[in-house]
Amino acid sequence: MNILVTNDDGIDSPGLWALAEVMGRLGPTLVVAPDKQQSGAGTSVSLYSGINIAEVSSPIPNVKAYAVSGTPSDCVILGLRRLAQARIELLVSGINLGPNVGNDIPYSGTVMATLQGYLRKIPSMAISLVASRRDEEARFDVAAQVAESLALSIRNGQMPTDAILNTNVPNIPLGQIKGIRVTKTASGGYVRLAEVRGSSSVNYATAIGTRPGQVIEEGTDIWAIEAGFISVTPIWLEVTHHSLIPTLAERIAELAPAFLLTRSRLSASLKAARQGGRGWVSTQF
């Protein structure tokens, strides 16, 4: 199984290499990651700027690695189209230091990088380690074991692969984890605006824990993490709100006559302006 590994914390992230090490045991592995921190990049791609690609020394034998001056999505696109020597059969993003749950998911460079694999029907998963503080010991080894188990199931044909597997692992010893739960996304999130002490500015901060009075529904990703479970959420891309189409079609049909009348008036005004030789026209409706 040929595997592509990426992240949004950058090429120097220990979580990236913990993930690459276990993936390297499962098959030929290619690492393509941003050359600097790209958290919050979401689905962003570098449309109007050049992207530099540099091969870097890999600490893992038989794992090739590249640093890219772009976003996580850039890394996956380049990995799949330019750098891979064979067809990629699994895309894994992580291990992110911090949660990717609930309403925060669309902003996540870690999770949204896997969208590039999903759109190409490549089995894809995102792995995040839910540390409550940046200065606490990060148990990347535990999250790596979870990633390896999921990847083995995918390789053996035992796991559904028509959705992104968004996986969040509590940052606690393996023996304290209560189990694994398949979850749905919560309606809340962890990313908040925080005041910068001694300054009038604000910044984004990831605060682990619910807000006062916030109710977290059982069966959601945030619920699972706070209860000590690993959360695996199947994510897929369906941007059309199908059930709203009939009602929206009725409203649009009601607007159509007025729109067509406005268009007719504008057309007549432009025609008159051209016939009168004027270069401009002022029209009121």
Q: What is the pLDDT of residue 226?
A: 92
pLDDT at 281: 47
Confidence (pLDDT) at 270: 65
CATH architecture of the domain 3-235 equals 3-Layer(aba) Sandwich (3.40)
Task: Using the CB atoms, write b or e for 23-40: b if 16+ within 10 Å.
Answer: bbebebbbbbbbbeebbe
Round to whole Å and give the CA distance between 219 and 250.
36
Residues 6+ apart with CB under 8 A from 110: 7, 8, 9, 39, 72, 93, 94, 96, 100, 126, 127, 128
Q: What is the block-wise mean pLDDT of the chain (285 residues), using blocks of 10 residues?
A: 96 97 96 92 86 95 94 96 96 95 92 95 97 84 97 95 96 95 89 60 57 78 95 92 94 80 66 60 45
What is the reported pLDDT for 283?
45
DSSP bridge pairs for 68: 34, 53
Distance CA 42, CA 109 (A): 4
Question: For residue 82, which amino acid is it?
Answer: R
pLDDT at res. 284: 46
Question: Do 100 and 206 contact (CB within 8 A), yes or no?
Answer: no
Q: Tally Cβ neighbours within 10 Å of residue 267.
A: 10
Q: Are 193 and 144 in contact (CB under 8 A)?
A: no
Domain boundaries of the chain, sorted by first residue: 3-235, 242-275
